[in-house]
Amino acid sequence: MDGPGFHVEVGVLESAAAGIRQSVADQGRSALEDVDGGPATYGHDGLHKAMETFCDRWNEGLDILIKDAGTIGDMLGRAAQAYREADAAAAGRLTSDPAGRVVGD
């Protein structure tokens, strides 16, 4: 879609939205908190506690990033849809090529 001073590749917007949604879905199936094993996995209680704290804190941050990414993906999808709707509405109003008269002269 083109306009005064801009060009939008609507398919690229839709592709980006789909990619972000897929990344969010993939991350949702593998929480960082699942990485932390039990105390026997580390052989040392202090090391286990440190790993557990690390995973818990980073998981909270990832949750925030995933939520934001989901919002961005949704917004890109809505923007692409709005461009498609505007393009369809404009195409419906054009019954002939507006440049035809100029080129034909």
Q: Which is more confidently placed, 100 or 76?
A: 76
Say if residue 88's pLDDT is above 80.
yes
Phi and psi of 3, rounded to 5°?
-155, 180
Average pLDDT of the residues of the chain: 83
The per-residue pLDDT for range 31-51, each reduced to its tens digit, is: 666 677 777 888 888 988 898
CA–CA dist 61, 64 (Å, integer): 5
The domain spans of the chain are 6-90
Neighbouring C-beta atoms of residue 68, cutoff 10 Å: 11
pTM: 0.65
